[in-house]
């Protein structure tokens, strides 16, 4: 049986050619010509005030909170059912993450849960497009405006997804993207911050380069400019090598998303009558980027046994994502029962743009009997 990996990046000859151009240019480092061109293309794509290319989405989240002047003692509400990067970013600025439970059908943050958590120390919220599905932004934006708190979109998994016709990444005043190897557009690692406010983006860009701005720009000046470090910054730049790859990948988002969507449709067809799992739910007002395909197992099914059998047969699988409030790093005293339940029962099966119909058939052919044995 041919192995079927859980994830696989769609990188090819066009991306290699773009990298060769960077090698020939002599500037592989960050904030060079390719990075600037990528930022311009992202700004246009998302109809933003500006876009800043950075090393990863975690960096974008951290820089967003710094630019928003979040202080120690502040509280930021974060979606609980997700890779816990939002909570990490809140802790990195000395503030307190407050975990909001999620909807049982979509796994996206529950607006009612968010509203119930707002208190005197709440300054904002970070909403997550869970494994590629946008959250309920109409309700969340109304809550943000009503209480005068900021709204940041973590669209790490959702490049190419939409909500009411608008693209994920542009559903809040600040959007944070990931270009990790399993995303819809990838350079292996990478990220971007999309902002409606160009002044905020300029702050982020400067902080991402140790607080002194672009060395490439300074090298174009005749003379000897000596930058001054006027504030503490970080080395969060995206290399021009990665930026060149991403410029190719941006042009392929539609093609790659169509292929992922075809895989999702085939899974939905083949598993429609399977009583031991529930398929992903996509509301009518949005589309999914399908970074991950997660099924929710019946409580009677031993998930570990299913995953063990799949992996033994060469089929990639994973637990899905995290109930962040249960992670020891945060010492949370909250309860998010829906998130905890999904964390215990969700199973990720292979999803990427390189999957063939025969491989999808193969996955389902192994999964169905594995479910029966794990429920016996």
What is the domain partition of the chain in residue ranges?
Answer: 13-250, 253-375
pLDDT the model gives residue 11: 97
**DSSP string for residues in 194-259:** EES-HHHHHHHHHHTBTTS--HHHHHTSSS-------S---B-BPBHHHHHHHHHHHTTHHHHHHH
Q: pTM for this one?
A: 0.97
Residue 244 above 80 pLDDT? Answer: yes
Q: Are 50 and 195 in contact (CB under 8 A)?
A: yes
In the chain, % of residues over pLDDT 70 = 100
pLDDT in tens, 288-302: 999 999 999 999 999
pLDDT in tens, 320-364: 999 999 999 999 999 999 999 999 999 999 999 999 999 999 999
Q: Are 50 and 198 in contact (CB under 8 A)?
A: yes
Rounded to whole angstroms, how far apart are CA atoms 228 and 148?
35
Rounded to whole angstroms, how far apart are CA atoms 360 and 259?
12
Please determine, looking at this structure, whether the domain spanning 253-375 carries the CATH number 3.40.50.620. no
pLDDT the model gives residue 222: 81
Helix (H) / strand (E) containing 25: helix 13-25
pLDDT the model gives residue 131: 98
**Mean predicted confidence (pLDDT) in 275-296:** 98
pLDDT the model gives residue 328: 97
Please determine, looking at this structure, whether the domain spanning 13-250 carries the CATH number 3.40.640.10. yes
Rounded to whole angstroms, how far apart are CA atoms 318 and 320?
6
């Amino acid at each position: 049986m041919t192995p079927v990996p859980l994830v696989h990046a769609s990188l090819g000859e066009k991306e290699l050619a773009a990298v060769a151009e960077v090698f020939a240019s002599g500037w592989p480092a960050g904030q060079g010509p390719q990075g600037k061109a990528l930022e311009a293309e992202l700004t246009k794509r998302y109809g933003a005030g500006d876009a800043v290319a950075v090393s990863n989405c975690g960096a974008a989240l951290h820089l967003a909170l710094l630019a928003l002047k979040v202080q120690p003692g502040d509280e930021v509400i974060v979606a609980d059912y997700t890779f816990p990067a939002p909570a990490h970013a809140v802790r990195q600025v000395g503030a307190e993450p407050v975990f909001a439970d999620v909807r049982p059908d979509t796994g996206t943050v529950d607006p009612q849960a968010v509203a119930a958590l707002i208190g005197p120390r709440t300054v904002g919220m970070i909403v997550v497009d869970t494994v590629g599905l946008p959250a309920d932004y109409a309700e969340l934006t109304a809550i943000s405006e009503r209480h005068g708190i900021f709204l940041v979109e973590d669209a790490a998994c959702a490049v190419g997804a939409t909500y009411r016709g608008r693209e994920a990444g542009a559903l809040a005043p600040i959007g944070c993207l990931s270009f990790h190897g399993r995303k819809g557009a990838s350079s292996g690692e990478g990220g971007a911050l999309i902002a409606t406010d160009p002044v905020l983006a300029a702050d982020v860009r400067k902080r991402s380069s140790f607080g002194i701005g672009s060395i490439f720009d300074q090298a174009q000046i005749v003379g000897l400019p000596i930058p001054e470090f006027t504030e503490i910054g970080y080395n969060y730049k995206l290399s021009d090598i990665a930026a060149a790859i991403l410029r190719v990948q941006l042009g392929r988002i539609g093609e790659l998303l169509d292929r992922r969507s075809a895989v999702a449709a085939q899974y939905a067809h083949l598993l429609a009558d399977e009583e031991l799992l529930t398929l992903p739910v996509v509301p009518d007002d949005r589309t999914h980027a399908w970074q991950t395909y997660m099924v929710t197992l019946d409580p009677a099914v031993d998930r570990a046994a299913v995953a063990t059998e799949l992996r033994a047969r060469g089929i990639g699988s994973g637990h899905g994502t995290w109930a962040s409030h249960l992670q020891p790093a945060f010492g949370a005293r909250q309860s998010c029962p829906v998130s905890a339940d999904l964390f215990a029962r969700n199973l990720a099966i292979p999803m990427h743009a390189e999957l063939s119909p025969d491989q999808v058939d193969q996955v389902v052919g192994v999964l169905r009997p594995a479910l029966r044995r794990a429920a016996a």
